[in-house]
Amino acid sequence: MQSKGGLLVTSGNSRAQTGTLALDGSRLAGSNKLSFNGAIAYGRSSVLVPVADPATGDITGFDRQVRTTTNEWKTRARYDRFFTPNNAAYVLGQLGADKIAGKRLYGGGQLGYSRQLLKTDAHTTVAELGYDLSYESYVQSPGKQIDAVAIHSARVFVGELFSLSKETGLSGGLEALFNLNKEQALDASDPTGAAKGVGAFKDTRLIAKLGLTTVLRKSLSFGFGFTVKYDQNPAPRPSGGAMYAPMVQPFSDKVDTMTEASLLYTFL
């Protein structure tokens, strides 16, 4: 079992506090493997906002507004049943939330086939094909009801582990989800934010990850990772009940990235 965490605090011109914590574990017994992971990230920032004189328009001072800028948690459990050393069936369940991205709650499950394509002293390459069911419930704005959405998708995954040395390894993975059903969700391609209905294969989601881990001591390692997430039809932005002006994008960004450096402690 492995845990990692981080805390970032700034003061002065930039005032922010952000904390992260993650836990990963797995157990292999015979032909059965059970793994799980969970993570939480929360941060608040004090943002300087200019205050202007209504009569002259001149800036007369600054006001600080405290805002939550990170609010995400997720957990996942997976079971693999190996038929041969290179072939397995898997089933997975997950649950999480990312309120800054407009997702009050998301979850679902996966099942499919996993194949180890290459196994050497330096390389381990895995490919997976399967089915994904995702449920997304969105952050609501006063006076505007946003319906939850169920998404049925085909899943494709390719992952690689590369050992640079006994102490250092690289990892990479690309996961693609292609929606198979027509979703009764708001269409992000409509700039007014009013059109509902997203066709099959119009809500593709991609997750790409790169990572490096090196052992510092027996139970202590350093990790560096970079993640890119793409959502073709992202969630609506919470508006607080106000109406968006024309030409203002009412949906969350399609691309999210995350860069992290952390210490990993193995305690089991």
Q: Residue 211: give its domain's CATH number.
A: 2.40.160
| Alpha-carbon separation of residue 92 from 81, 107, 175, 225 (angstroms) | 12, 11, 14, 23
* Assigned domain for 10 exists: no
The pLDDT-based confidence of 62 (bands split at 50, 70, 90) is confident
Q: Is residue 78 part of a domain?
A: yes
Mean pLDDT of the chain: 88
What is the DSSP track for 12-77?
TTSEEEEEEEEEEEEEEETTEEEEEEEEEEEEEEEEEEEEE-TTT--EEEEEEEEEEEEEEEEEEE
Is 240 within a domain? yes
187 located within any domain: yes
Residue 108 belongs to a domain: yes
> Is 255 part of any domain?
yes
The DSSP symbol for 11 reads -
Query: pLDDT, tens digit, for every residue of 134-181?
Result: 999 988 776 667 788 999 999 999 999 999 999 999 999 999 999 999
In a domain, 223, yes or no: yes
Range of the structural domain that residue 258 is part of? 33-39+73-266
Interval 231-245: pLDDT, tens: 999 888 766 555 555
Number of domains composing the chain:
1
CA distance 27 to 33: 6
